[in-house]
Amino acid sequence: MSDNNEIQPPKPAVTIKPPSPENMWAELSIATNYLTRFNLPFKEEPKPRLIRKSMGWFPLIGALIGTFGASVDWIITQMRMPGVITATFAVVGMLWITRALHEEEFASLVNQYGKELDQEQKIGWLREERSVRYGTLGIILIIIVKIGAIASFADNAVVFQALIVACSWSRALMVVAASWLRPIEGDPVADHFLQPPGTRVGLALGIGAIIAFAVLGEDTATALLAGSVAGLVVALIGANHLRGYNGPLLGTLQQVVEITVLGIVLAIQ
């Protein structure tokens, strides 16, 4: 029998190639530039496929953001400041390093729902103009809750654990939502990232879970499950009301999941 008639081994249905160092740096740079105030340079304009793939690294950048906030809390603690002061500086530090990106997106979605509650932005029988938007009140509430949670943790070690897991897992679920929901045309975030490929969704979940189990230990499953349920609720709002995802929806999901994980860690510490 000739060599041409030999049975060839079947080719794999799916082939996964590791990214080149150049592409990995581009993906990490895109994720860093979007999630933080840093502006890492590119050798050339990143291609759309790299932008979509960059979402897989969101939880890694989130863990670094949480580490930064916890480090600020630790530094202020060394100055013998009370917990509420150290927690305030930690939250302000994270607001600074992220440009308050997700808080602003959360406020946008809250304002959108607030306008529907107040027809034509009028309230009450006096039909008076509203001067304070719901989004502003929502941000104030979120900041107060974060400060209260961080100030209530037993020690700096728990602050590190809680912030790293909360910031990482909340951004991993952003990737899941972006993959599941349709990007809303005309929104800058949705137009930029579109829908990440399934391999990068798996990468994001894997990174987020590994970081959480490495940092939090035996209570990880409870925190991740609670955060996932909270994220699902927000995603369902997007699926039902917005018919897709945009920047405000992803920002809201991130904030809600982050606060949920912080609350669970506080409850089980």
**What pLDDT tens digit does each residue of the chain (269 aa) get?**
445 555 666 655 555 566 677 788 999 999 999 999 999 988 788 888 999 999 999 999 999 999 999 999 999 999 999 999 999 999 999 999 999 999 999 999 988 877 666 655 555 555 555 555 788 888 999 999 999 999 999 899 999 999 999 999 999 999 999 999 999 999 999 999 999 999 999 999 999 999 999 999 888 999 999 999 999 999 998 888 888 999 999 999 999 999 999 999 999 98
Nearest to 171 by CA among 204, 146, 214: 204
- What is the distance between the terminal CA atoms of the chain, rounded to a whole angstrom? 70
> Please, where are the H alpha helices in the chain?
21-35, 48-53, 58-77, 83-98, 101-117, 134-152, 156-180, 188-193, 198-216, 220-237, 247-268
Q: How far apart are CA 84 and CA 64, in angstroms?
A: 22
* Tokens linked to 160: 């590190």
Residue 182: phi and psi, rounded to 5, are: -75, 130
pTM of the full structure: 0.89
Angle, CA of 154, 158 and 163, to the nearest 5°: 130
